[in-house]
Amino acid sequence: MNKIAITMGEPGGIGPEIIVKSLYCAEIRNYCNPVVIGNAEVMREAVKLTGLPLNVKPISNLSDSKPTIGRIEVIDIRSPQPFKKGVPSKKSGIAEVKYIKKAVELALKKDVRAIVTAPISKQSLKLAGYKWPGHTELLAELTKSKHFAMMFVSEKLKLILATIHVSIKDVPRIINEKLVLKTIILAKKGTDMLGIKTPRIVVAGLNPHAGESGIFGREEIKLIMPAVQKARKEGIDVSGPYPPDVVFYKAYKGEFDIVVCMYHDQGLIPFKMLAFDTGVNVTVGLPIIRTSPDHGTAFDIAWKNMASPSSMIEAIKLASKLKLRV
């Protein structure tokens, strides 16, 4: 059965807890043989926190792996300790990057089929002196990927982002025809990974009413529509730009398979409203398969045995199903 690497994420967040709860789910063993990349002692603490009948087995490398029911195997990455629970820290930032680098190394060598990443803290990254604004940019750099995007997947709504972790005031300056066209192409690649044979792609406008024929902004006319037209010439079934206040409803009702969104919150607000506990983040454009829960570190409930593993479970299941087409 395919092996999947699960990075522990921010040690002070809910990552260790949701991993434990996910791997206790018997259904997961029907999809893959999971191995955690993280800190064995932290994982033991998470097992103790949950009270679940599991034990943690540290291993040095995948050749030592012997999947066993009731056991969590952890490739034990040594890093500065102790970690602070419920808050970001420099030590956590150093650790979470080490976990990701190891997982990417294994995936690039095809020692694992995919990686699933527990949430990291952008604050911890910054405290540790790293400049990456998040997982996506870090993974792109590690895999030398130039064209990539965040795709979000749930049963009723799927979307992809043209811009990611940037200030909203900078979005109009960043949006251009080339970027929108690239994102449409990545939307096609993402739906291919999902096994959607003839995807119907729709593009959301940037402005209210998609600019209302230029009254509320001309980005749709000058930048977005030309990209849509070029994508059509390349044989992609894409339409738009549609007014953002109706496009998600149409996609939810089944008229479209995926929405191309202009900025982070344009897509993530409706997505999390519908699928906060079950949505999955997929990085499209990498030479490896990577999924993650669609939520953050949740420091406010971390290490209190309150976190739901639902999104992590869905991320593991989806990672085992996706088909990479580079």
The string of pLDDT tens digits covering residues 104-119 is: 999 999 999 999 999 9
Residues 310 and 195 in one domain: no
Query: Of 96, 171, 168, which Cα lies nearest the Cα of 126?
Result: 96
Residues 13 and 141 in one domain: yes
> Where in the sequence is the domain holding 316, given as residue range(s)?
1-145+288-326
Q: What is the pLDDT of residue 154?
A: 96
Residues 133 and 217 in one domain: no
Residues 77 and 115 in one domain: yes
Residues 263 and 191 in one domain: yes
Residues 177 and 115 in one domain: no
Residue 191's CATH number: 3.40.718.10
What residues contact 126, with CB distance under 8 A and at least 6 apart?
A: 93
Residues 104 and 21 in one domain: yes
In what side-by-side order are the strands of the sheet with 114-117? 55-59, 71-76, 33-38, 3-7, 114-117, 290-293, 280-284, 149-153, 158-161, 258-261, 201-204, 238-242
Q: What is the mean pLDDT of the chain?
A: 94
pLDDT band at 2 (very low <50, low <70, confident <90, very high): confident
Residues 254 and 324 in one domain: no
Output the pTM of the full model. 0.93
Q: What b/e string do you get for 145-168 counting C-beta neighbours within 10 Å, with b at 16 or more? A: beebbbbbbbeebbbbbbbeeeee
Residues 317 and 272 in one domain: no
Q: What is the pLDDT of residue 1?
A: 66
Residues 42 and 10 in one domain: yes
Q: 293 has which bridge partners?
A: 280
The number of domains in the chain is 2
Model pLDDT for residues 79-135, shown as the tens digit of each residue: 767 788 999 999 999 999 999 999 999 999 999 999 999 999 999 999 999 999 889
Residues 193 and 319 in one domain: no
Q: What is the pLDDT of residue 180?
A: 98
Residues 99 and 184 in one domain: no
Q: What is the pLDDT of residue 216?
A: 81
